[in-house]
Amino acid sequence: MPAAADVRADGTVARASHGRPAEVDRVKAFEDLKKRAKAGDAVAQRLLADTYEGCYFVNIDRENFMDSLDFYRQMIRALAQLSVLEQVAAERFAQCGAVDGGAIVPIQLVTGWYAQAAENGPGRPLDGQRVQAEAAGYG
């Protein structure tokens, strides 16, 4: 059972990950994906490679990722678009914090998982599997 300080008002549990908070459900979803990939599931291997690749630039410099959006903020004139940018960036930041604790993943690992997925099965997950993976936050 988590300590009282770790439970948020909305009922989710926070977990420190290399000194950065990450939601337990995101961490669990990532760890489950990684476990399936290591077990030889080609779809999971492809999704793991996609996840690592998608978080590569975020995790290179997590402290400056959100600040780097200033360039895009200056270009956007519509308030609704700015809100979407902020929401998408915050979601990506949170999701990537759960990917190996926000660690920088060597690009060789990304290409290795893509190669393993290609060797073990289909290049892209089936629609039903993709929908399930996206619902879990990965894909």
73-128 pLDDT per residue, tens: 888 888 888 889 889 999 999 999 999 999 998 999 999 999 999 999 854 544 44
User: What's the rounded Cα separation, in Å, for the pair 60 and 106?
Assistant: 10
- Contact criterion met (CB below 8 Å) for 105 and 52: yes
User: What's the rounded Cα separation, in Å, for the pair 28 and 63?
Assistant: 23
Question: In this predicted structure, what is the pLDDT of residue 31?
Answer: 95
Question: Which tokens go with 7?
Answer: 């439970």
pLDDT tens-digit map of 87-99: 999 999 999 999 9
Question: In this predicted structure, what is the pLDDT of residue 39?
Answer: 96
Grade residue 138 by pLDDT with cuts at 50, 70 and 90.
low
- Contact criterion met (CB below 8 Å) for 114 and 50: no
Question: Which tokens go with 119?
Answer: 């060797």
pLDDT tens-digit map of 6-64: 434 444 444 444 444 557 889 999 999 999 999 999 999 999 999 999 999 999 988 88
Question: In this predicted structure, what is the pLDDT of residue 66?
Answer: 82
Indicate yes or no: pTM above 0.85: no
CA R_g for the chain: 16
